[in-house]
Chains A and B, each alone.
Chain A
Amino acid sequence: MTNSATTPIPGGDTAQLRTALPVRGRRIPEHYWGYILLTPAIVLVLGLILYPVSYSFYLSFFSKHAFFPEETFIGFENYIRFLTDPEDFWRSVKLGAIYAFSTVILQVIVGVAASLLLNETFIGRTLVRGIVLFPYMVPTIVVVILMRWILSDSYGILNYLLQVIGLINRPIVWLGAENIMLVLILISTWTYFPFVLIGVLARLQTIDPELYAAAKVDGAGMLRRFFHVTLPQIRNVLFVLILLRFLFMFTKFDIVWLLTGGSGLGYYVRTLPIFTYMKAFGEMQVGAGAALSVIMFLILVVFALIYSKVFQRGEEE
């Protein structure tokens, strides 16, 4: 290595620098560098995504106990068993869909509304923008412990406050069979709406203010400006956000399990990820658990395809 390799030539540009440098030995062709630099990423993708996913597909055709290496090939038996099981499997798909659709709809409504507010100019806006991200940054376990404490029918502060202001005269059983799905949806909305907020707010900041000015001149009120200027502008961002949020919420495990997992209440919110976990790690049937993961994956692929198609058709129209 020579000093000339690191010393810039005064007044010379990069191309001059390259040609000016002495070249010793064989050069690696430029395009190989692309492959070399991509290798770590490819290895990571293969090792951390492709291999586990392929192994799941493979396992789904076997009967296998979680503790033992022995496995018995059973073909499509796991799939047939679940797809013909309305009591547990289809019930969990239904509950998962209710949970995912409800939380996504609410997250989008709250997220868009909050981003519109935070796009306005007011004193302390930067601070509020920071604070509003708080629910998304809090660890899930903290959210759950906090919510259990707030919502308890024995000592929860929410019931206490509602009683103090006279709205109720006896505690509401928030964490009971009747309300648990609603509570889970509301907690999940509160936790994850900042994800929508960030995406939409970023897009809102790039909309040309002249569009609003022109709409005002044309006599458009606040609502019409939202539907005819803002919404078309954030449409593409919303498409991606809704797709991502649905994928995340349909596969959501942590908050559901931590709030109700393994308890009597869990029966009322046993979504597909929870059902999968119970098969794989409760009953120790990892083959069956893998089959459920594959089915969940396929459901999401089908959803993503239909959703994209519908969105594209809307674009064309």
Chain B
Amino acid sequence: MSMRRVLSTVSMAALIGAGMAVAAALPANAQEVKVVNIWHTESNSKTKAAIAEIMADFEKLNPGVKLRQEGVSWGSLSAKLTAALAAGAPPDMSHGQTYIERSLSAKGLLRPLNDVYASIGEDDILDVVKKLDYNTEDGNYYGIAHAIGTDVLIYRKDFYEEAGVSEDVPKTWADWIETLKKLTVDLDGDGLPDRYGLDLAGPGFFINEEVYMWVGSNGGTLFGPNGRPTFDTKPVHEMLAFYKELNDCCLPPGWLGHGYRDNFVALATGKVASILGWGRGAYTFEKLAPDLVEAGAFGVMPGKPIGPSGTTFLTQLDSEPWMIFKDAKYPEIAAEFLKFFYQKDNYRKYIQTVPVHFFPITKSLREDAAYQATPDFETWGFWTDAQQNIIANHEPKPLMMTEWDDLSLPFTKEIADSGILIDMVVAVVSGQSTPEEAAARAQRRAEDLITQLGYKTW
């Protein structure tokens, strides 16, 4: 082939390519479509449909805007966000945990949401929500909870009755263990338990959750005032000893392999007598055990037991915030959508998809007659009441935060995702280490990590 022919072929191809590019660009210029990517962790089909409906209404009002929702599981959200941020391609908006929001805002990656708060009306938003997301250092809000809720102790009333144990909240961990031992029963007479007192979820997210809740309920903290980890302390040692005792007496042998949903299945099918969990689980019971739901066999405790060194219990405030990424493609459109999302009718539509789990963050919606008439409250009103009591009287805190001051720590996400707390628990429950040994090692690892990340301040 001659050089001339090569050149003419290449020129022709280039011309065709350029022509196609121009042709493709023309309609885009005439009507540019701005695609806004929104990640959330709501897997419920009703919730997804409600989000789609709200999005469609927003698109109608904003021609040229296309909102795209993507459901991400809790287990993979953190890793997916990390990868997207590291690649410089974050979504425009996403759900997170408060500790993720705090870590990301400390790194300057989030857009302030003060305008969103102003649009809703700051006075209308519950104080606890504002406290969660307000950065006292720069006076900005970097997240806003889509809803709130609390982690509660869920139990089978029929099994409690059968075992002759009180349905009141056990006062101490020792009382709780005694109750759980009575609820761990051998049904077939072979000398081994067939039903266990309690089931826990094995994924790291939930082990982190138990650790900080139980340390908090035992008068302890995970971090000192200067940010130094406080893992190698008495409240943590006692928490680990409690974990081990629970593991040995009252948890199913395979609990480390149980998923969160598996816990609800186990309770519904009678494999265990109680679990820790969230309001969404009510719908699993409706699906798996409608007869038991109708018979009122499920109960929820309005509090939790306290550890030997504690004076009050700590439970988790579910407060997943929406976050908008500063360096995303369309952060301003995402903010406009968020304002639209919290408009009363839209927000009610969203909240009512999983009303036992989603508590509205606005006072006006809580007082709204249409919200209060939500049919699910007829069956599950006791569950929402229990959560209401905890939120109003027992100051629940978000994941990984035993103290409100922990909100200012920039490394909680890294600690949560490092597996340090999980390894600490596994080492103790498997019998490989004593609580003191495991806590000392976790302390060392956490200090090393914080130092390597450049956040050491002690």
Contact = CB atoms under 8 A, between A and B. Distances in A.
Interface stretch (A23-31, A103-111, A304-312): A23-31
Given A263-B203, A264-B202, A170 B414 contact: no
B101 to A, nearest CB: 14
Nearest to B425: A264
A135 interface: no
A85 to B, nearest CB: 10
Interface in A273-317: 278, 281-286, 288
Which of A24, A152, A177, A264: most chain B Cβ within 10 A?
A: A264
Contacts of B414: 282-284
**What secondary structure prevails in chain B residues at the interface with A?**
helix
Contact of B258 (A154, A180, A278): A154
Contacts of B85: 66-67
A284 B203 contact: no
* Contact size range, B: 35 or more
Given A25-B2, A67-B107, A281 B426 contact: no
A152 to B, nearest CB: 7
Interface stretch (B165-173, B249-257, B313-321, B400-408): B249-257
Nearest to A153: B254
Contact of B4 (A24, A261, A282): A24
A267 B426 contact: yes
Interface in A113-156: 148, 152-155
A283 B418 contact: yes
B2 A278 contact: no
Interface string B20-52: 000000000000000000000000000000000
B144 interface: no
A25 B4 contact: yes
Contact of A177 (B262, B269, B430): B430
A63 interface: yes
A70 to B, nearest CB: 9
A1 interface: yes
B79 interface: yes
Contacts of A267: 419, 422-423, 426-427
Contacts of B257: 153, 173-176, 180, 263, 265
A35 interface: no
A157 to B, nearest CB: 14
A266 B75 CA distance: 13
B82 interface: yes
Interface in B175-215: 190, 192, 194, 202-205, 207
A132 to B, nearest CB: 29
A265 B418 contact: no
Contacts of B265: 154-155
Contacts of A54: none
Interface in A36-69: 63, 65-68
A176 B253 CA distance: 7
Contacts of A4: none
Contact of A176 (B254, B425, B453): B254
A169 interface: yes
Contacts of B5: 1, 25
A262 B253 contact: no
B79 A281 contact: yes
B373 interface: no
Contacts of A154: 252, 254, 258, 262, 265-266, 269, 271
Contacts of B256: 176-177, 263-265
B82 A262 contact: no
B3 A27 contact: yes
B109 interface: yes
B159 to A, nearest CB: 16
A155 B269 contact: yes
B6 to A, nearest CB: 7
Interface centre among B194, B259, B419, B429 (most CB of A within 10 A): B419
A286 B86 contact: yes
Contacts of B258: 154
Contact of A278 (B3, B86, B419, B426): B419
B346 to A, nearest CB: 32
Contacts of B452: 63, 283, 285, 288
- Among A24, A170, A263, A266, residue most surrounded by chain B Cβ atoms (within 10 Å): A263
A154 B272 CA distance: 10
Contacts of B252: 153-154, 173
B418 A262 contact: no
A218 to B, nearest CB: 54
Nearest to B201: A263
B72 interface: no
21 contacts: A25-B2, A28-B6, A66-B85, A148-B259, A170-B192, A173-B253, A175-B257, A177-B426, A177-B430, A262-B205, A262-B419, A263-B202, A263-B422, A264-B204, A267-B419, A267-B427, A282-B79, A282-B414, A283-B418, A283-B453, A286-B86
Given A152-B262, A155-B269, A169-B190, 17 more contacts: A25-B5, A27-B1, A27-B3, A65-B454, A67-B82, A153-B252, A170-B190, A173-B252, A174-B254, A263-B202, A263-B203, A263-B204, A263-B257, A264-B207, A264-B256, A267-B422, A285-B452
Interface of A: 1, 23-28, 63, 65-68, 87, 148, 152-155, 169-170, 173-177, 180, 261-267, 278, 281-286, 288
